[in-house]
Amino acid sequence: MVEASKKKSNLLESCRENPWIVSTGVLAIVVILLLIPFSSLTGNVVSEEKVASTFLSYLTSAGADINSVEVTSIVKENGLYKISFNYEGSEYPVPFYLTENGKMIGQMTLIQSSSTVDSSSDSCWEKIASELDFDIDKISSFAYSSKGINLLKEDSTLTSKYQITGSPTLMINNKKSSSIYSGTDAVKSSICSSFKNLPKECSGVNITQENLTKTDKPVVDLYVMSYCPYGVRAENNLAPLVKLFGNKVDFNIRFIAQVQGDSVESIDSLHGIKEAKEDLNQIAIMELYPEKFWDYLNEFNNVCYGGGASSSSGSC
């Protein structure tokens, strides 16, 4: 195992030529923003060496719990530096942004340990689907067909329209609500605040001062990544409200991903191909078994994913 300080030195000498491995003794890293003054960079051009150095310095200073992470490439795209790295066979992009006010922002993706995310989750979802009497072949056929891919494209279009980048993001009547970070009661209050006429389910609920459009039937869209622990936590927080309000509210789960083509391999999802597949699985289940979708989601999140993050106050 190569020590971080020695590896950093080697990387600075040959970052254009070699992949790198950063190793520490533990397994998880949390979502966090890294702000680096532009004055600390050399000139107006940020070199790959500097991006790589910043990445490793952050991992070291933050005490990141990462085991066997292999950085495979650095790509510059319109002022954005994207590091791709491999973790337990899955690719994770880490974007680095260069802002107009002279700061570089790096946003680390969350890496879950194998004790939290079931490494055999491909079979895990099938087990849950079978217990719910779903036709697995039917789900897979729909998910990977043009129907499933196009529905994910629709979600991708909406994420661009509303400039949604983080999981979870809650939209109520097409306006963002921060209540998703404060738990079920806060979300309930926001939903009740969006009704023209309060239903009985909102009796005694504090009406918020959020600038929400009021409608007869509120539309609640939760944008997530299926393998984002904070998205999972948000779904778990929303589930009781889906049961409470029933068809008085139009609840939707939407996915944050970029679809470049017509196959699952063309999907750019923050937590890799496994996440893209599960996004499509869930889209198919929503279409084929809408009455049991939340039953499936609850089981998947708690059995295959271990319940998600311990706190609501974070995002991927």
**In sequence order, what DSSP letters do the residues of 30-89 get, joined into one string?**
---EEEEEGGGSSSSS--HHHHHHHHHHHHHHTT---SSEEEEEEEEETTEEEEEEEETT
Residue 80 CA to residue 99 CA, distance in Å, equals 9
pLDDT in tens, 244-256: 999 999 999 999 9
Q: Do 228 and 165 touch, CB atoms closer than 8 A?
A: no
0.85 cut: is pTM over it? no
Burial class (CB in 10 A: 0-12, 13-18, 19+), 297: buried
Order of strands across the sheet with 219-224? Answer: 175-177, 169-172, 219-224, 250-255
Domain ranges of the chain: 4-107, 121-304
* Residue with more model confidence, 133 or 24: 133
* Residue with more model confidence, 33 or 173: 173
pLDDT in tens, 133-165: 999 999 999 999 999 999 999 999 999 999 998
Q: Do 49 and 98 touch, CB atoms closer than 8 A?
A: no
Residue 51 CA to residue 16 CA, distance in Å, equals 12
Residue 202 CA to residue 250 CA, distance in Å, equals 16
Residue 228 has pLDDT above 80, yes or no: yes
Q: Do 119 and 308 touch, CB atoms closer than 8 A?
A: no
Listed range (52-56, 105-109, 305-309, 310-314) with the worst mean pLDDT: 105-109
Q: Based on C-alpha coordinates, what's the Rg of the chain?
A: 21
H/E segment holding residue 175: strand 175-177
Q: Which residues pair with 69 in a beta bridge?
A: 22, 87
In CATH terms, the fold of domain 121-304 is Glutaredoxin (3.40.30)
Signed CA dihedral, 120, 134, 261, 225: sign only: negative
